[in-house]
Amino acid sequence: MNTLCQDIVLKLPWVVNGRLETKQKTFVYRHLATCQSCQKELLFYLQLKRNMTQLSNQPSKHFKQELFTDLQNTLVAISPQLSTPTYSYTMTEQILISPLGIAPFLISYIKDLYQKSFNQTTTQLKMALQSK
């Protein structure tokens, strides 16, 4: 992903939440008109927002513990990558830049966790329907 795309992807949560200034919004929309990679990222954020609004307010009993355990394992696994100079922003800068208050790699983690949960729920529903 080139530097321009990285900049655009950092602004996408702001676009989805309608909080980007007009000048920056125009810049982002122009780029989105020609970049399929960034269009896919935008679709992810739009779907994430839609799905988050449909979530129940009552997580499972063990959700918090499972989330923190998975998060801890993920952070331990990626910690060597965080100190390498391959990132254009430091972790602190990413946290400060993101309108959600979390670094982009955590969004990727949540995306994977959501997909895992969705797959498990789908399997459970199929089994329940087959047993009836």
pTM of the model: 0.44
- Scored b (16 or more CB within 10 A) or e, 79-111 reads eeeeeeeebeeeeeebeebbeeeebbbbbebbe
Q: What is the pLDDT of residue 128?
A: 72
Report the pLDDT value the prediction gives residue 31, as an integer from 0 to 100: 94
| pLDDT value at residue 105 | 59
Residues of the chain with pLDDT under 50: 84-87
Q: What pLDDT is attached to residue 64?
A: 73
Residue 95 confidence (pLDDT): 53
Greatest extent of the chain over all pairs of C-alpha atoms, in Å? 56
Residue 111 · residue 48 · CB < 8 Å? yes
**Where does residue 42 rank: exposed (0-12), middle (13-18), buried (19+ CB within 10 A)?**
buried
What is the structure's pLDDT at 90?
A: 55
Give dist(CA 71, CA 34) in Å, integer: 35
